[in-house]
Amino acid sequence: MSTVLPDQLGHFGRFGGRFMPEALIAPLDELTRAWQEAMADPEFTGEFDRMLREYAGVPSLLYDATRLSEAAGARILLKREDLNHTGAHKVRNALGQALLTKRMGKTRVIAETGAGQHGVATATACAYLDLECVVYMGEVDTERQALNVARMKLLGAEVISVKTGSRTLKDAINDALRDWVASVDKTHYILGTAAGAHPFPAMVRDFVRGIGDEARAQSLELLGRLPDAAVASVGGGSNAIGLFAAFIPDAEVKLYGIEPGGDGFETGRHAATISAGQVGVLHGARSFLLQDEDGQTIESHSISAGLDYPGVGPEHAWLADTGRASYRPITDAEAMEAFRLLSRTEGIIPAIESAHAVAGALDIAKELGPEATILVNLSGRGDKDMDTASKWFGLIDAPEAGRE
């Protein structure tokens, strides 16, 4: 199922591994065993496939975005993960891990969420599979993603607003880990991205790798060949590794991860972990991270809550280190321009996370030229971001800003 990496202890070269309290090591071993046995069991994989197909609307379409292509100056194919149930690629991982939770005989699920997409996907999977669900979300994110908070609550999840540290995704992960260490007997932690301690990076990758597996087959069918490049946004790295995994052995397909450049690289207010970070340990794995001279984590900044994370999954660190994939930042402003462009040219309102990938593809199109075909992971839809977009573009007259 999985590609060659990681090794038995979860290392991708010098990255990954397990930097976790001893209390969680035995549970992580148990999880690793349960996951590997499940992936080798046709009953489990068959049920996972059925859930994806009948419930989540997978395989998602590969869409030939002709008007966007015209604007970009190269052919752009969009992998329409925005059309999945709950509106993002995240549902694949949430369903996979929730099904695994059942198989392990656990009854309670916890999750962290930034944009709220993973929280919604997890709350959905828990409603579907009858599991108790608690979602940790930074207070800042509960404010900018209020719609998703309401969705989670409606789905029966308890949402805990995290008020420590920077009150965003990294602090939500901290609190979820604190919960987990005390509750691991009955609780599975559905981590929402391809980061964290082994087996999470590999397990999440394998649950979302359908994105790339499908897109690869769809490209062959549509083009008779593989695309020249595959592009995805990188927060913790799940939608990107989900797209890349199938193409890693195809040396002719260039892989690009698009990082959140925030206010601009130079300002220091960004979340471009690989482009600007250094090697270190955060949330259980060695990878790149944004840190100060003393190894304290630096708060990240991005208009996109789902990309606003100072760490990144270890497999991306490894892909960057080996040169197999390259990573570059896109600013808030460039992402919002692409957000509008895709809306206007194709009638598709993307998640701001995914708009980063579209913006990256516009630059890559210029570099690769008009003959190039570029596959972009449209990881999610933009409904959750309408408030942010309205403010950015001044679409709604804010009463408080109104004239006297």
Partner 1 sequence: MSEVIALGKAGAAIRTANDAGRGALVAYLPAGYPSYDGGIDAIKALVDGGADVLEIGFPYSDPVMDGVTVQRASEAALAAGLRTRDVLSTVEKLASYSDVPVLVMTYWNPIERYGVDRFAADLAGAGGAGLITPDLIPDEGAEWIASADKHDLDKVFLVSPSSTDERIRMTTAACRGFVYATAVMGVTGTREKPSDLAAPLVARTKAATGVPVGVGLGVSNADQAAGVAAFADAVIVGSAFVKVVEAGEGPAGVRRLTESLAEGVRREPSTAASR
Ligand X SMILES: Cc1ncc(COP(=O)(O)O)c(C=O)c1O
Residues found near partner 1 in the complex (CB under 8 A):
9, 17-27, 164-165, 170-171, 174, 177-178, 181-182, 184-185, 278, 280-284, 289, 291, 293-297
351 touches ligand X (CB under 6 A): yes
| Cβ partners under 8 Å of residue 227, min gap 6 | 77, 219, 253, 373, 374, 375
Catalytic residue, candidates 81, 112, 259, 346: 112
Burial 385-403 (b: 16+ CB within 10 A, else e): beebbeebeeeeeeeeeee
Q: Which does 351 bind (CB under 5 to 8 A by kind): partner 1, ligand X, none?
A: ligand X
In angstroms, give the least distance from the CB of 404 to partner 1.
40
- Known active-site residue 302: no
Q: What are the phi and psi torsion angles at 80 (to 5°)? A: -85, 65
* Cα–Cα distances in angstroms (integers) from residue 320 to residues 121, 326, 381, in the given order: 29, 6, 27
- Known active-site residue 183: no
Q: Which does 88 bind (CB under 5 to 8 A by kind): partner 1, ligand X, none?
A: ligand X
Q: Which does 164 bind (CB under 5 to 8 A by kind): ligand X, partner 1, none?
A: partner 1
Q: In terms of CB distance, is 185 or 371 closer to partner 1?
A: 185
DSSP per-residue codes, 176-227:
HHHHHHHHTTTEEE---SS-SSTTHHHHHHHHHTHHHHHHHHHHHHHHSS--
Stretch that binds ligand X, among 22-30, 44-52, 232-240, 326-334 (CB under 6 A): 232-240
Please tell me the distance from the alpha carbon of residue 232 to that of residue 262, in angstroms, as a whole number. Answer: 17
Q: Which of 190, 234, 255, 320 binds ligand X (CB under 6 A)?
A: 234
In angstroms, give the least distance from the CB of 292 to partner 1.
8
3-class secondary-structure state, position 19: coil
380 touches ligand X (CB under 6 A): yes
Q: Residue 346 is encoded by which pair of tokens?
A: 């194709």
Annotate each residue in 44-73 with x if it binds ligand X (CB under 6 A) or - if it does not, as one string: ------------------------------
Burial 60-87 (b: 16+ CB within 10 A, else e): bebbebeebbebbebbbbbbbbbbbbbb
Q: Which does 233 bind (CB under 5 to 8 A by kind): ligand X, partner 1, none?
A: ligand X
Please tell me the distance from the alpha carbon of residue 89 to that of residue 82, in angstroms, as a whole number. Answer: 7
Single out the residue of 326, 236, 247 nearest to residue 287, CA to CA. 236
In angstroms, give the least distance from the CB of 317 to ligand X.
13
Stretch that binds ligand X, among 42-50, 109-117, 153-161, 245-253 (CB under 6 A): 109-117
86 touches ligand X (CB under 6 A): no
Stretch that binds ligand X, among 53-61, 143-151, 228-236, 335-343 (CB under 6 A): 228-236
In angstroms, give the least distance from the CB of 108 to partner 1.
14
3-class secondary-structure state, position 76: strand
- Known active-site residue 379: yes
Q: In terms of CB distance, is 105 or 224 closer to partner 1?
A: 105
Q: In terms of CB distance, is 217 or 279 closer to partner 1?
A: 279
Q: Which does 235 bind (CB under 5 to 8 A by kind): partner 1, ligand X, none?
A: ligand X
149 touches ligand X (CB under 6 A): no
Q: What are the phi and psi torsion angles at 303 (to 5°)? A: -65, -20
Q: Which does 296 bind (CB under 5 to 8 A by kind): ligand X, partner 1, none?
A: partner 1
Residue 77 pairs in a beta bridge with 64, 375
Please tell me the distance from the alpha carbon of residue 351 to that of residue 355, in angstroms, as a whole number. Answer: 6
> Do the Cβ atoms of 153 and 131 come closer than 8 Å?
no
Peptide bond into 310 cis (omega under 30): no
Q: In terms of CB distance, is 197 or 234 closer to ligand X?
A: 234
List of residues contacting ligand X (CB under 6 A): 88, 90, 114-115, 117-118, 193, 233-240, 306-307, 351, 353-354, 379-380
Catalytic residues: 90, 112, 379
